[in-house]
Amino acid sequence: MSKIEINNVYKIFGQRPTEVLPMVKNGATKEQLLEETGHTVGLDNVSLKIEEGETFVCMGLSGSGKSTLIRHLNRLIDPTDGEILIEGTNVMSLNTEQLIDFRRHKMSMVFQRFGLFPHKTVLQNVGYGLEMQGLQPEKRNSVAMEKIEAVGLNGFENQFPAQLSGGMQQRVGLARALATNTDIMLMDEAFSALDPLIRSDMQKQLLDLQAELKKTIVFITHDLDESLRLGDHIGILNAGKLVQVGTPVDIIMNPADDYVEAFVKDVNRAKVIKAKIIMVPAAQANGVDKSNLIKVNEDQFIEEFLPQVVCNNANCEVVDRQGNTKGYITNKELQKSLSKS
């Protein structure tokens, strides 16, 4: 059973969504529906599965439906048609009390504009979700401090949001989401408002935390480099339709249509493809020359180890965080992954 399952979800915005739904199901385009009925298609027959412990990135241009999709998962928006299953439970079946409990204990959310309380300190902001869960102050503050330290804000716990930079405020938002210890984290354009260098730093921190915590993360972005860097799988939306779902290497190597191909044509593949994506699994690497190897971590990007490979004319032994051999990379795999032909 998948952690999250979305089945044939439609969302139509307007006064009479159920009346115009048949038009969409019969193939009416987003533009046609708007012109003829004044209604807007948010999602058009979207189905996907997200597995436990993975980071699923949903991307697309503005208006593609990505933020609409993520808001269906915790029922900030209800679908016009279709079902959304979280661990097998249809969230549409939850009553008000069950939905509140579901949001408090099952999912946390990180927003683009931080969503911090300006009158609360960092410690109070991070502990807010725990307060809603009913934890006593001593335990709440202990857990909040642990997460503050995890995101590198130790010493800032008594500061107020206005005293922090944008990057630091987003770290507070991330710490708050982690503090409630929910299985699922929803991140809606969480890093989009940050400067490029701070954004890159936050991406790295999320990758480091995810390697340890193995949360199920649904991450929304319009940035392909960010999608490829963070995602185990990526879903690309266009005009409310899910046009492709795949691993980063699937998206880059085999774009489903012209829309996806336009996204990936200028990507620096070395910056976004990880060693584990292109490696030959150890069990299938009998013919690999292992006389001259360099060790690389499975989550390293090609650009991080490529200079060493070239300088030493070596193959790569890919290892996990515990040092266990997971696979090998030869010149053949590198050439294939970096070629745009």
Q: Which residue has the higher pLDDT, 132 or 160?
A: 160
Residue 330 lies in a domain: yes
Q: Which residue has the higher pLDDT, 180 or 20?
A: 20
- Using the predicted structure, report yes or no on whether residue 111 has a pLDDT greater than 80: no
Residue 167 lies in a domain: no
**Residue 228 · residue 274 · CB < 8 Å:** no
Residue 234 lies in a domain: no
Domain interval for residue 326: 272-338
- The CATH number for 320's domain is 3.90.1280.20
With a pLDDT cut of 70, the percent of the chain lying above it is 99
- Lowest-confidence region among 35-39, 50-54, 246-250, 315-319: 246-250
Residue 325 lies in a domain: yes
Average pLDDT, the chain: 90
What confidence category does residue 273 fall into, taking pLDDT thresholds of 50, 70 and 90? confident
- Using the predicted structure, report yes or no on whether residue 113 has a pLDDT greater than 70: no
E-strand ranges in 32-168 read 40-50, 55-59, 81-86, 89-90, 107-110
- Lowest-confidence region among 17-21, 59-63, 165-169: 165-169
Q: What angle do CA 132, 135, 140 make, to 5 degrees?
A: 100
Mean pLDDT of all residues in 83-92: 94
Residue 125 lies in a domain: no
Extract the tokens encoding 336: 């294939």
Total domains present in the chain: 1
- Using the predicted structure, report yes or no on whether residue 341 has a pLDDT greater than 60: no
Confidence (pLDDT) at 82? 96
**CA nearest neighbour of 84 among 25, 18, 8:** 8
- Using the predicted structure, report yes or no on whether residue 254 has a pLDDT greater than 60: yes
pLDDT tens column, 127-151 = 988 888 888 989 999 999 988 988 8
Q: Which residue has the higher pLDDT, 161 or 191?
A: 161
